[in-house]
Amino acid sequence: EEAVLAWLKGGGRADATYERGGVSGITLLMGAAHHRHERVVELLMRHGAAVNLQDSVGGTALMYGAASGHERVVDLLIRRGAEINLQSDGGTALMMAAFFNHPAVMLRMLRAGADAAAREEKGKTALQWAKEKGNAECVKVLAEAAATADSRAGAGGASSGAAAAAAAVDAP
């Protein structure tokens, strides 16, 4: 935290980027979210870090936070305007949480409006990823979200919830 603050006070940009593993355009905010550094995320945001920048494969700070499973970082990014349904080459933040087995993060994102019916470039949804990886708790979260969406739509009515559509299409 002190090193980042010193960097910023010395004229460093909050949106400075770096490259790692063949991915370029990774921002300091993405790195802080990935490494679960909540205070650094807050610090960077206070200094003007853009929350929705995407790296060379489309990853965002929210996706990095969701993949690492840090609920408070995910909450902070959502409160600060992170676009919950942005797509990367690997899908959405919800898909990242499903893939890496972070059901609590998924629940927070669903409550914030994450689209459970969204599909990544190969056509998979968060539910399909959760099932494929054997992440039973994530499957349960998505099934409960679909049931809630169905009940809100009313008996016999068309569901307005994307989660319900995803559950119907993703049956095993």
d(CA 96, CA 59): 10
Confidence (pLDDT) at 146: 79
pLDDT of residue 6 exceeding 80, the answer is yes
pLDDT of residue 162 exceeding 60, the answer is no
User: How high does pLDDT run on average in the chain?
Assistant: 88
d(CA 91, CA 63): 9
What is the biggest distance separating any 2 CA atoms in the chain, rounded to whole angstroms?
Answer: 62
Position with higher pLDDT, 6 vs 102? 102
Confidence (pLDDT) at 90: 86
Please give the share of the chain, as a percent, with pLDDT higher than 70.
87
Angle between helices 38-46 and 71-79 (to 10 degrees): 20
Q: Enter the pTM of the model.
A: 0.85
Confidence (pLDDT) at 1: 83
Q: Is 63 left (phi over 0), alpha (psi -120 to 50) or beta?
A: alpha
